[in-house]
Chain A
Amino acid sequence: MAPVSDVAAPEIAGLRTHPLTAVVQGARWAAAASVGLVGSIFTGDGWGDLNPFLSLLAALAGGLVLGLLLGFVSWRFTRYVIDGAELRISSGVVTKASRRIPYERIQSVDIAQPLVARVLALAELRIEMAGGRDSRTSLRFLRLADAATLRQVLLSRAHGEEVEAATEEHRTAITVVPPERVVLGTVLSLDFLFAAVGSVALVVLMIWFGQVVVLLGGVLPLASWLGQIVAHRVLQQWDFTLSRGERGLRIERGLLSRTSQTIPFARVQGVAVKEPFVWRRLGWQRLEVDVAGYAEHDSEQQEDSSSTLLPIADRVLAAAVIDELIPGTTTADLVRTRAPRRSWVFAPIGWRNRWIAADDTAFVAHEGWVQRRTSIVPHSKTQSVELRQGPLQRRLHVATVEVHTPKGPVDADGRHLDEHDARAALVAQLERARASRA
C-alpha cells in the first residue's frame, strides 16, 4: 500500500481485531445451534423424517457457516483506536455504533479466553465501567499477547500515568487454590449435596417404578442444576491463582475457558466473607468482592462469576487477602453491637448471629444462620446510609440500619438492632465516612 493512502483515508484509521475472530464466532454459533438439538435427540424426534443425528450435523454445519459469515462481516466493520484521552471502538454494519471509553472511567480490565479462542491463542478484552447493564465493553478477539499489552496500557492510563510502551508489571503470587480443594469444597456445600442426593433418589425411583416420563420432569431440572453448580464452582474456579501487582490483585482461573481478571485496589467497594454450613466447621471461607459494574452481568450470565475473590480458603489466608484490599481491618476483636433478644420474632434462630461493628477503616456487618456472611465496607466507599423501621419493628423498639454499596455480593445491613443503637450507628457512620473522605 502506498504511504499516500493513509493521508487520503483518515477515517479508516484504527486497528482491527484478529481475523480469526470469525472462526471463533462461527464455532460458538455452531455450539449454540447444536445445544438446542441435543435435547430433541433425547426425546427422539428430529426434523420431520430426518434422522436426529443427521439433523444435529445439519445444525452444526448451518450454525458454523452462518456464524463464520456473521463473524467475518462484524470483524470487517470493527475497529478500535487508542489515543491520549480515550479508547474508541466503532462497530456495526447496518447500525453504526461507536463507543468512547475515557480512561479515568475504567473500573477494571479483564481478559477472557473461551475454549475455542484459547485453542487459537486468542483472547477477549473486557472493559468495565461503572453503572448500568451496558457498562461492559468487549473487544473480541485479539492475540493473547496483544490483549495483555493493551490491558497494561489501559490500566496504567486509568491510573493517570502516561505510558507509551507498557511493560508487564511485577507480580507476586499470593495463593494458588488447588483443584482438589475446589472439588472438595463443592461436594461439601449444601446445595450440591441436595441436588446430588435428589437426582440419585429420583433416578432410583424412576428405575424402581419404571415411570420414565413422569419422573423425567424432576430429574432433568435437578441434574441440570447439578451441572450448573459443577460448571460454576469447579470448572470456572479450576487452577485459581491470586497474585498481587502494583496496582491491584490479579485472578487467573478456569479449566476450559481461562479468565484473567484485574481488580485495582482502589476500585474495591466492599468484601463479603461467606461461610457455608459445612465449611464453617472446617474453617473454610469464600471471599467475594464488590466492584462497580461486575454484578450487573453476573445475574444474566451465570457462566461468569467474576466477583469471586477466593473460591475457598482457610481463615488465615482469607484475613491476609482482606488486609491486602482494606489495610488495617480486623473482624475479630471489634466492639460488636448485637441484635437484641426481642428481635427473635424476625429471625427465630439467626438473631444471635447478627451484629455490626466498625473500626477506623471499615464498617462490618454479620448475619446468617445456615450460611454466615460478614460484609466489610471501607468508610471511604460508603455510598449512603439508611435507617428503617416498620410497624412491628416500632412496637419492639428495633430498627434496621443499612450501609449502601454498589450492586454486588456485599450487603452491609444491620437488621433489627435496638433502635438507639441503629440511630447511633447511622450518625457515627456518617461521621466516619466524612472523616475518611477528608
Chain B
Amino acid sequence: MDGLFAPVEGTWQPVSPRLATVRRILLVPLLVALALAGLVLVVLRLGSWTTVLGAALLVTGLAGAGWTWVWAGRNQRSWGYAENADDLLVTRGVMFKRLVAIPYGRMQFVDVEAGPIARAFGIATVTLHTASPETAAEIPGLPAAQATRLRNRLTELGEARGAGL
C-alpha cells in the first residue's frame, strides 16, 4: 500500500543528497582498501590458502563497495520529515520502513551533531529525545542552516507546548 507511510498531513521534506555522498566517502574507501589488500594477496601468490583468502577479500570488498554505493543513494532518498501543527513526523527505510510521530510537547531535548566530513559538506543530524528510549527520531543529512532552524523551532514549540512528563 502506497499511502501507508504517507505523512498524516502535507508532504515529506527530503533530506540533502549530500548525505549519500558523505556516507559513500566514509564507507566505500574502506571496502575498496579491503579489496586492494585481497588483490595484493592474490598477485603475490604466497600459497593456495592466502590466494583463496585474497580472492574472498577482493570479491567481498568490491561487492560491498558496490552495494554501499547503491544503498547510500536509496537510503538517502527514503528519509523524510514533516513538521505538522502538533507533531514532528519522521520516515525512513527502504526494506524496513518506519514512521515515527512525536508530539512537540513530549520533547525533552534536541541534539544537533555533525562529524568532520559531514561538516565539510555542510550537513548535520538533528535528534529529538523524549522520555522514551524507543523514540528514535533522528533526521540525518539536513543542510546546516536548516538543522539550526529546525532545532530552534523544535525547542520553541517544545517550550510552548511542554506538557511535562
Q: Are B96 and A390 in contact (CB under 8 A)?
A: yes
B30 interface residue (CB < 8 Å to A): no
A386 contacts which chain B residues (CB < 8 A)? 98-101, 134-135
A167 interface residue (CB < 8 Å to B): no
Q: Are A385 and B131 in contact (CB under 8 A)?
A: no
B105 interface residue (CB < 8 Å to A): yes
B100 contacts which chain A residues (CB < 8 A)? 384-387
> Interface code A419-438, partner B: CB below 8 Å = 1, 0 otherwise?
11001001100100110010
Number of A-B contacts (CB under 8 A): 95
Q: Are B96 and A391 in contact (CB under 8 A)?
A: yes
> Interface code A384-427, partner B: CB below 8 Å = 1, 0 otherwise?
11111111001001010010111100000000000110010011
- Given contacts A383-B131, A406-B132, whether A389 and B96 have CB atoms under 8 Å apart is yes
Q: How far is the CA of A391 from the CA of B94 in the complex (A)?
A: 9
> Interface code B89-125, partner A: CB below 8 Å = 1, 0 otherwise?
0000001111111110110100000000000000000
B1 interface residue (CB < 8 Å to A): yes
Q: Are A384 and B165 in contact (CB under 8 A)?
A: no
Q: Are A131 and B131 in contact (CB under 8 A)?
A: yes
Q: How far is the CA of A292 from the CA of B165 in the complex (A)?
A: 8
A241 interface residue (CB < 8 Å to B): no
**A283 CB → nearest B CB, Å:** 32
A107 contacts which chain B residues (CB < 8 A)? 165
- Given contacts A292-B165, A427-B8, whether A384 and B135 have CB atoms under 8 Å apart is yes
A382 interface residue (CB < 8 Å to B): yes
Give B133's nearest chain A residue, CB to CB. A407
A433 contacts which chain B residues (CB < 8 A)? 103
A176 interface residue (CB < 8 Å to B): no
Q: How far is the CA of A423 from the CA of B99 in the complex (A)?
A: 10
- Residues of A349-382 contacting chain B, CB below 8 A: 380, 382
A336 interface residue (CB < 8 Å to B): no
B3 contacts which chain A residues (CB < 8 A)? 423
B108 contacts which chain A residues (CB < 8 A)? 131
A420 contacts which chain B residues (CB < 8 A)? 1
What number of A residues sit within 8 Å (CB to CB) of B? Answer: 34
> Interface code A250-271, partner B: CB below 8 Å = 1, 0 otherwise?
0000000000000000010100
Q: Are A384 and B106 in contact (CB under 8 A)?
A: yes
Q: Are B103 and A437 in contact (CB under 8 A)?
A: yes
Give A429's nearest chain B residue, CB to CB. B101
Q: Are B165 and A405 in contact (CB under 8 A)?
A: no
- Given contacts A384-B130, A406-B132, whether A389 and B4 have CB atoms under 8 Å apart is yes
What number of B residues sit within 8 Å (CB to CB) of A? Answer: 29
B5 contacts which chain A residues (CB < 8 A)? 387, 389
**A426 CB → nearest B CB, Å:** 7
Q: Are B96 and A430 in contact (CB under 8 A)?
A: no
Q: Are A404 and B134 in contact (CB under 8 A)?
A: yes
**Which has the most chain B C-beta neighbours within 10 Å: A107, A384, A423?**
A384
Q: Are B161 and A437 in contact (CB under 8 A)?
A: yes
B95 contacts which chain A residues (CB < 8 A)? 390-391
A130 interface residue (CB < 8 Å to B): yes
> Interface code A234-245, partner B: CB below 8 Å = 1, 0 otherwise?
000000000000
Interchain CB contact (< 8 A) of B99 among A380, A387, A406? A387
> Interface code B5-25, partner A: CB below 8 Å = 1, 0 otherwise?
100100000000000000000
Q: Are A380 and B163 in contact (CB under 8 A)?
A: yes
Q: Are B131 and A130 in contact (CB under 8 A)?
A: yes
Q: Are B86 and A434 in contact (CB under 8 A)?
A: yes
Give A267's nearest chain B residue, CB to CB. B165
B144 interface residue (CB < 8 Å to A): no
Q: Are A384 and B132 in contact (CB under 8 A)?
A: yes
Interchain CB contact (< 8 A) of A437 among B130, B134, B137, B163? B163
Q: Are A130 and B165 in contact (CB under 8 A)?
A: yes
Give A394's nearest chain B residue, CB to CB. B97
Q: Are A383 and B106 in contact (CB under 8 A)?
A: yes
Q: Are B4 and A384 in contact (CB under 8 A)?
A: no
Interchain CB contact (< 8 A) of B98 among A382, A388, A427, A434? A388
B87 interface residue (CB < 8 Å to A): yes
Q: Are A419 and B1 in contact (CB under 8 A)?
A: yes
A267 contacts which chain B residues (CB < 8 A)? 165
Q: List 18 A-B contacts (CB under 8 A).
A: A107-B165, A131-B131, A269-B131, A383-B106, A383-B131, A384-B101, A384-B135, A385-B101, A387-B4, A389-B98, A391-B96, A406-B132, A407-B132, A423-B4, A426-B8, A426-B99, A430-B8, A437-B105
Give me the 6 closest cross-chain CB pairs, A-B, nearest first: A383-B132, A404-B132, A384-B102, A384-B135, A383-B130, A404-B134
